[in-house]
Amino acid sequence: MALLKKIKASSLMETLVATVLIVVVFMISSMVLNNIIATNIRQNTDKVEERMNVLEYQYHHKVLELPYYEDYESWEISIVADIKQTGQFAVMTAEQTKTEMSITKSLIGED
């Protein structure tokens, strides 16, 4: 003897409401994920820091003449001499034109 149970089927309206809720949750989660990734890409400074390290190396080996200015991707890099009482310094600044983010390094000159 087989057990026959009837399963109550959901109505069309319940199915549509559940589907809409699932779609809304996926849309919100994808927008949040997209925002996180876009912010991470905008604030990534790895490439410009790598370029600044190369320029710092060139400065220490006297390949660069000061003042030095360069446009690197969306960054404006400048190295300007800054003579203080304790010795000779240079200030390296990188400013991003789109987000107005800036990175500053002090370079100690070798005499």
More confident position, 12 or 24: 24
Q: Which two tokens stand for residue 91?
A: 């200030």
pLDDT score of 107 more than 90:
no
pLDDT in tens, 33-74: 999 998 888 788 888 889 889 988 888 888 888 888 988 888
User: Across the chain, what does the average pLDDT equal?
Assistant: 84
**Rounded distance, CA 97 to CA 68, Å?**
18
